[in-house]
Chain A
Amino acid sequence: MDFGPHLLLASLEGAVAAAILALTAIGLSIVFGVMRVVNVAHGEFYMIGAVIAWWVASIVGTHPALGFVAALVVAPLIVGMLAATADKFILQKIDYDPDRTIVATIGLLYIIQQITLMTFGPEARPVQPPFNTRLALPWFEFGENGFEMYWPWGLSITSYKLFVIFAAIAIMLALWMLMTRTKIGLIMRATQQDSDMAKAFGIPVNRVYSWVFGLGAGLAAAGAVLVVPMQQAHYLMGHDPLLLSFIVVIIGGLGSLPGTVIAAILIGMSDGIISVFFSPTLAKIIATLVVAMVLVFRPNGLMGRSN
Chain B
Amino acid sequence: MKNFDLTKSTLTRRKVLKTLGAGVAAASILPRLGGIAHAATSEPIRIGFQAHRTGIGAAYGRWYSRATSAAVTRINDMGGINGREVEIITEDDGTDPKRGAEVIEKFAKQHEVDVAFGTLYSHVVYGSAPRAGELKLPYFVVSEGHHVASGKLNRYTLQPGITDVKSQVQAMAPFVADNLGKKVTMIFPDFAFGHDHRDFFTAAIEAQGGEVVESIAIPPTETSFTKYFPRIPRETEVIYHVMVGPAVLTFVKELGEFFGPNRPELFGFIDSLEAVDFASPGLEFLEGSYFWEGMARYAQADQTDIDKTYRAAVGVDNNGASISDSRDVATFSHMFGCWETLNIIKRGMETCGYQGPADRQSLIEAVEAMSDMPYSLDHPQGAKRFNGKTHQTFGHQYISQVIDGKLVVKHKTSIEDGLYEDEVDYTKQSF
Identify the A interface with B (CB < 8 A). Answer: 1, 5-6, 9-10, 13-14, 16-17, 64, 113-114, 117, 121-129, 134, 136, 153-154, 156, 158, 230-232, 234-237, 240, 272, 275-276, 279-281, 284
Contact = CB atoms under 8 A, between A and B. Distances in A.
A243 to B, nearest CB: 9
Given A232-B249, A234-B246, 11 more contacts: A17-B224, A122-B61, A123-B59, A123-B329, A154-B230, A154-B258, A158-B257, A230-B253, A232-B247, A279-B216, A284-B219
A9 B224 CA distance: 13
Interface stretch (B205-213, B273-281, B346-354): B273-281
13 contacts: A6-B230, A9-B227, A10-B227, A121-B62, A126-B249, A154-B230, A230-B224, A230-B253, A231-B223, A236-B55, A276-B227, A280-B222, A281-B219
A280 B218 contact: yes
B67 to A, nearest CB: 15
For the complex of A and B, the 5 pairs showing the least CB-CB separation, nearest first, are A122-B58, A1-B230, A234-B246, A124-B246, A128-B281
B246 A236 contact: yes
B127 interface: no
Nearest to A230: B250
A124 B249 contact: yes
Interface string B392-421: 000000000000000000000000000000
Contacts of B221: 240, 284
A156 B257 contact: yes
B260 interface: yes
B227 A126 contact: no
A121 B328 contact: yes
B223 A280 contact: no
B39 to A, nearest CB: 35
Nearest to B274: A123
A280 B61 CA distance: 30
B282 interface: yes
A16 B282 contact: no
Nearest to B260: A134
A165 to B, nearest CB: 13
B259 interface: yes
Q: Which residue, B56, B223, B258, has most C-beta atoms of chain A within 10 A?
A: B223
A284 B222 contact: yes
Interface in B210-243: 216-219, 221-224, 226-230, 232, 234
B280 A153 contact: no
Contact of B250 (A114, A231, A275): A231
Contacts of B276: 123-124
Contacts of A240: 221, 223
Contacts of A232: 246-247, 249-250
Interface string B246-277: 11111001000111100000000000000110
B427 interface: no
Nearest to B215: A279
A10 B230 contact: yes
Nearest to A240: B221
B54 interface: yes
Contacts of A127: 281
Nearest to B329: A123
A272 B249 contact: no
B190 interface: yes
Contacts of A281: 190, 217-219
Given A9-B230, A156-B260, A284-B219, A231 B247 contact: yes
Contacts of A237: 246
A183 to B, nearest CB: 38
Contacts of B61: 122
A177 B62 CA distance: 47
A114 to B, nearest CB: 8
A127 B327 CA distance: 13
Given A16-B224, A128-B281, A240-B223, A5 B230 contact: yes
A123 B281 contact: no
A134 B259 CA distance: 10
Nearest to B57: A122
B174 to A, nearest CB: 29
A14 B226 CA distance: 10
A240 B56 CA distance: 13
A272 B227 contact: yes
A122 B66 CA distance: 14
B250 A156 contact: no
A240 B245 CA distance: 13
Interface string B39-71: 000000000000000111011011000000000
Given A117-B58, A126-B282, A154-B259, A9 B226 contact: yes
A59 to B, nearest CB: 13
A240 B328 CA distance: 25
A126 B223 contact: no
Nearest to B216: A280
Contacts of A123: 59, 275-276, 328-329
B219 A280 contact: yes
Contacts of A231: 223-224, 247, 250
Contacts of A275: 227-228
Nearest to B221: A240
Nearest to A126: B280
B230 A124 contact: no
Contacts of B259: 154
Nearest to A9: B230
Nearest to B283: A126
A234 B244 CA distance: 13
Contacts of B56: 236
Contacts of A10: 227, 230
B38 to A, nearest CB: 40
B69 to A, nearest CB: 17
Given A231-B223, A280-B190, A136 B257 contact: no
A39 B258 CA distance: 37
Contacts of B217: 279-281
A68 to B, nearest CB: 12
Contacts of A136: 260
Contacts of B226: 9, 13
A219 B13 CA distance: 69
Contacts of B54: 113-114, 117
A124 B280 CA distance: 11
A134 B257 contact: yes
Q: Which residue, B56, B221, B227, has most C-beta atoms of chain A within 10 A?
A: B227
